Structure 1
Amino acid sequence: MKIFLDDERLAPTGWLQVRWPDEVISYLAKGMVTDISLDHDLGDDARGTGYDVLLWIEQAIVDTGFQPPKINVHTSNPAARIRMLAAVEQITRLAEMKSQ
């Protein structure tokens, strides 16, 4: 399953549109996701951002050896993009370390 997290852009064909980080995390926790594409700003920071999904993935790798899906960041927020891409790099390193 491919998950597209965004509050404004429409998901590409073949991707499931979701609006909130907890929805993405629910699918990830069930092991149903092969790819995710994340926006950062979702219109209600109290409900979370795309970065929260990355934090969950990092913690799941450390706690359980979770195998992350392919991750794409499509946010237009420049500062958030830098932070999210750094998190993706960290996720990649953690996953490689856990798989050895």
Structure 2
Amino acid sequence: MKVYLDDERETPEGWVRVYWPEEAIELLKTGEVTEISLDHDLGNDDHGTGYDVVLWIEEQALLNQFVPPKMKVHSANSSARQKMELGIKNINHIVQRHNKSPLA
């Protein structure tokens, strides 16, 4: 399943649209998400942003060896995009460390 987190843009064909971070996280918990595309600004920062999804994936990768889907950011907010992309880079480092550990 491909998940598209956004509040305004048109959903690409073949993607499942979600509007809030908790919706994306619930789908990620199923283990069926193969790709996720994230917007940062979702219309109500008090309700969360796309960065919250990155933080959740990062925590799960670190603590529970969660295998993340392919991730990309489609946010027009350049500073938030950079922050999210750095988070994704860190997630990839965590996954690589787990794969090199003797427990893997």
- State the TM-score bracket (shorter-chain normalisation): over 0.9
The within-5 A match list for 1:1-100 is: 1-100=1-100
Answer with 1 or 2: which has the greater Rg.
Answer: 2
The TM-score with structure 1 as length reference comes to 0.98
How many equivalent residue pairs? Answer: 100
Residues 50-90 of structure 1: CA deviation (Å, up to 9, x unaligned): 00000000000111100000001000001101101101100
SS at match of 2:90: helix
Instruction: List runs of 5+ in structure 1 lacking aligned partners.
Output: none
- Per-residue deviation at 1:6? 0.2
Instruction: List runs of 5+ in structure 2 lacking aligned partners.
Output: none
- Per-residue deviation at 1:27? 0.7
1:11 touches 1:17 (CA, 8 Å); kept in 2?
yes
CA RMSD of aligned residues (A): 0.6
SS at match of 1:59: helix
Residues 5-48 of structure 1: CA deviation (Å, up to 9, x unaligned): 00000110000011000000001111110000000000011110
Could you list the structure 1 runs, at least 4 aligned residues long, displaced by more than 4 angstroms after superposition. Answer: none
